[in-house]
Each structure stands twice: as structure tokens, then as C-alpha cells.
Structure 1
Amino acid sequence: MKIRDYIFNSLLGKSGVVFYDSRWLDSGGIGRFCKEIMASKVTADTKKIEGPISQALSVKDLFLSSFITVNGAYFISPGYNAPLFSCSKAIITVHDLMHLYFSEYQSIKNKLYYDIIVKRTVISAPLVFTVSDFTRQEISRWAKIPIDKIIVVPNGVDHEFYHEAVLPIVRDRPYFLYVGNNKSHKNLKRLVSAYASSGLSTEVDLLISCKPTPELSLLIAELDMTERVVFLCGVEESDLPSYYKGAVATVVVSLYEGFCLPILESMAVGTPVITSNVTAMPETAGGAALLVDPYDINSIRDGLVDIWQQKLVRINLVELGLKRAQMFSWERSREIWDDALIPILEK
């Protein structure tokens, strides 16, 4: 249902009505969260707001969504969009506060939206959802709200899709795998530089799931790694477990993550993980990954070499990773979501 349908169907003013913003379905990582949480018992009974994600983040939508909250209904979002008025009836999900740290997210529009709309909603809402304790702590400091008001609903693993018996892709050469986009905080320049300096390119390739940026392509050419750094330019969801399974290790050395689901997806199929020792990544890894300093090319390089050369390290990480991944499921995440919402909605 679109918000305007809600308005014109005379549902305004009916307290107890709950709306869930499903427009986040096609928005990458938040889209996965949106889809899985939509199947929770509480959310399944809500009215769904449909449309493109661009609509949800428009200025017009600030007012349209306010029709919901001003008239006594709840507006619940798996993302960070919020109404302009009656924010005490809005419950949103803040997955990270990346805009505080990276210039590409610090446009005037983003700053105003977070500092005025999001922060005010976080302060006024009966509760706030997030995906990790790291982000929970950040939100509490940023908005100056009690930490117990913020509920952690971690991302989950689909264990029917990601499991140890997955068959690997067939490839002539072994490879390290990076899964994610090419934004600057993903730290791909340092990853490529570390790989080039490791001396491993004669034995193992580096597969990157996204498209290269012009700057990254230039760096790879300068390092003479064009034949060994392979850009997949997108991987089908159905093929992703097999790419994880076939890798020597999954390497995610971001400068910042609010959760980092590829860590757990890789662990769930039995592939070791190299990841960063900053932000939420150590929390997600839970001691089951090889941690490196993402700002230090030598640290990343040493991690690649250790994983490639030390079989016992790989075996240990596989065992630890399989156990760690089992601790996360969408079923459990939906339970946490429902347990937090039911007391609020029943008031």
C-alpha cells in the first residue's frame, strides 16, 4: 500500500494501525534486513508501504509519512527514514552512522537529514533498532539517549542457503574473495596494494564482486595486476554461496562497518575470513576471523600470506567460523524484533 492510498482510504485517525515501510526491499544490505524482518509475526500483520526507495528518502515523504504518525498510527521502518512530525510514533532502524566519518556521505542534505530528522526521531521514539552493539554505542553517544532504549537486532544467516555442503565454483586458479561494493570506506585500494605486495599473485588470484572505479583500475594497472585482480561486476545471489565456498579466504578489510554480513556468510559455508580490527567487524567475527589493521597495507598483506601458507590456521578458522555462524539466524532476529515491539504496540 502506498501512503497516499492510506490517506484516501480514510484510515487516518484509527489508533492501533501499524505501517511497515517495505520500500527498502531493493536497497542492498538493508533490503535483506527489510525482507527478513517483514516475515516476523508482528510485521506480518502490519500494512505495508510500497514503492521505490527513492520515494522513501524524498522531502515529500517527510510529510506523507507524517500523516500516519500525526493521526495516531505507528510508522515502522527497517531503515533510517522518518516522518517530520509526531516522531514518538515512529520506530526506525539505524544500521550505522557512517556519515559522521566519511566525506562521500557528508553532503549538506545527508547532514541535515541525520542531524534534524533522524536524530530527533531517535530521541522521541519509544525504541530504536540497530544491528550491532558497536552501532548501539555510537547511537547512544550521538543522540545522547539511554543505551537500553536501543535494541540490537543482528543480521542473520540463511542456513538453508549458506551451509558447509555448498559446492564451490569451478575455477583454474585459487582465489581470495571480496564481496561488497566499491565505495571508499571498503578500502579496496589498500586491499589491492596488499595483495600485490604479498607476492602471492603467481599462485592465487583476487576476485572482487563489484565493478572497479577508474582510480582502482589505474592502481591495478600501475601494479601490473590486471590479469590477477578479477572484477566479477556483480554476483547473482544464488551463486554467492559457491563463490564463498571456493575461496581460500573471504577478505573484508573495510574502514567502517555497522555489521558486515559477508563475514558470517563466508563462515557458514566453511571458508576462513580475514577482516578488520575496527568498528563492528571484530564483534561480528566473534574471535573466529583473522583480524588485521585496515589502515596498514603490511598488516593486510601479512594476513593474506598467513592464510595462504598456514594450513593449520585455515583449519582452525573454519572450525571456529562454522560455530560462530550458527549463532546467527533470521528466525532469532525476528524473535528479538517482535519481543521489543509487542509491549510498545500493545500500550
Structure 2
Amino acid sequence: MSRTDVVVIGGGQAGLAAGYHLRRLGLDFVILDAERAPGGAWQHTWDSLHLFSPAAFSSLPGRLMPPQPGETYPDAAHVVSYLTDYEQRYELPVHRRVRVAGVHRDGELLRVETDSATWLARAVISATGTWSRPFVPAVPGRTDFQGTQLHTVEYRGPRDFAGQKVIVVGGGNSGAQIASDLAYDTDLTWVTLREPRYLADDIDGRALFDHATARRRALDEGRSDTGGVASLGDIVAVPPVRAARDAGRLKAQPMFDQVTPSGVAWADGATAEADVIIWCTGFRPALSHLAPLGLRGPRGHIPTSGTQAIGEPRLHLLGYGDWTGPASATLIGVGRPAREAARGIAALLGAV
């Protein structure tokens, strides 16, 4: 059994940002990562995925992401290289491959049980993200479909589906990007819950981060809710999406009512045949390791004040979305809540 000041669970962008600030404050810590290699969820994304922002506006604290030659918006492989370099540059103590089974109260400490060792910590930062918890809605007939069903996490590229009838479900960024990827070489049906809402073509991740930050500031100051990023639209018109849209290849159909053995059907009797259904229907926070603490609130979230769990002040949650910091699930957005979490822990431990 090992002891440390802080255990960070998750070695992706949020965990690395936390490590950077913990190191600056002089705290003893470890980062436990379930992945085999650096890069977090970015090493598992589809081939054509690109960031929404230029490299300089997609950086973790302390180290600007270098531009990718020939690309305004870096691809996922470039992000993996950047995170790998970041981890090495700051000599962050990442332990792989370590799966955390549960976090328990143990007197004045928190006990972190893993598949390889047990850690006792004075505080814990959970930074496990959402990628490992894909969500697929319970649509009637889904288990009867005789073709192939995938979630975003399993999609790699259009070459696997050339010539096939493919239904892409989801009107967010993943759905739009994957639909645009498949719009040329497949018989594509794109299905969305509501009419796709594209952000203005000149809006990218920089503007989204600024808008999310302004909303959080307004709420903290008791002013009216600006609506956040969702008020601007659902889909960032990155170049491949813009090209497919402008070519008339991204024509969304309303959400179907049931899945059939050979495709999908709508209440008005319309049907669509499919070889493949790709569910781009989002994710849920990966929080099962925190179940022993009994902190879950509405919608599966753990109530927080900033990043600090209200029911357990020794626990901070980082990188799960706006409820743990404005735009905290993004590269550019995670730095500020990571700094707040580290400072909060340092104050709790009497290190500042």
C-alpha cells in the first residue's frame, strides 16, 4: 500500500493539466491511467477527426501546442503527440496500465483500490472523462436489427463502409463529422432529433470557449443565463462538414420511431434500409469508480461547487463538462478548472 498527497485518476488532457498545477504547487501526487499509452481518448478517435480550433488555441497550461504543418485545425494524431510530449516535458508521474476499481473513505484519507495496488491519498482528482461510457438510446426494436451497429467510439473511417447503406444517428458534432465522412462513398441517411443547427462558419473553439466562460461568469455573478454554447448552435462547421453541407450531401431526416430487422421506420410508414447503424448519441460521465462514496445526484452527476464534490471535500472532478468548469471537457478549457482544483486541494492540505 502506497501513500501520497493526491491521486489523479485519468491520464488524458484533464489529468495532465491537473498534474501540471499540482507539480507547480509542490504537492506529491500520482496519475493513474487505464490506457496503454499517452494521449487519452484522442488515440481512439476516427481517422478524419480534427480539432475545432487552431493549435495555439487548443493548448494545456504551460505549453502551447505547436502547429501541424499543412493543417489549420490539427488532427487527433497531432493531439496525441502533443499530449505525449507534454507528459514527458513536465515529467508527470503517470502509472500505466492501471484500472481504478473504487475510491473509499478510510478515516482521514481516501483509499484508491486498483487492479495492481492500493493508494492512500489525502485528496483525489477524478479526471476519467466520458469516452469509456458511450450512450445509445433505448429505441424500440434496436436489438432486432440484423445488420451492424456501432457507436462513435468504434468508428474509424469510410473505407469500412464503401457501397453500403449507412444510417448515422445524431445531430451534434460527432454525428455531423461522421456523416460528412460517409457522404461520398456510401448510401447515407443522416437522422437527427431536430433540424441541424450549424454555428456560423467563422466560429470555432476559441469563440465557444469565450462564450462558455462568459456564461459561467454571468451565472456566478447572479446575472441572467446567456444560454451558453448551446444557444449558438449544435454543430461547428469545420471544413469537411462545411464542404459536405454546401455540396448538398448533408440532408438530415427526423428521428425514426423504431428500428426494424432491416433498417428503421417512422410513424408515418416511411422506412429506410440499412446495412449499418452508427449511433453518434453521446456519452455519460465515467464515474463508477466513485460509487463507494455515495455521492451521485440527479442525472448521474455528483453535485459540485466548482470542481469540489459537495458531499466529499477531498474529491475534485475535472473535465466532465460545464458542470465541472466552463468548457472543461476541452483542451483549452480544462486549464482553469485544473488550476482551481489544485489550489483548492493545496489549501485543504495546508500546503499554501
* TM-score (structure 1 length as normaliser): 0.28
Q: Which has the higher strand share?
A: 2
Of structures 1 and 2, the one with the larger relative CO (CA 8 A, separation 6+) is: 2
Q: Which has the higher helix share?
A: 1
* TM-score (structure 2 length as normaliser): 0.27
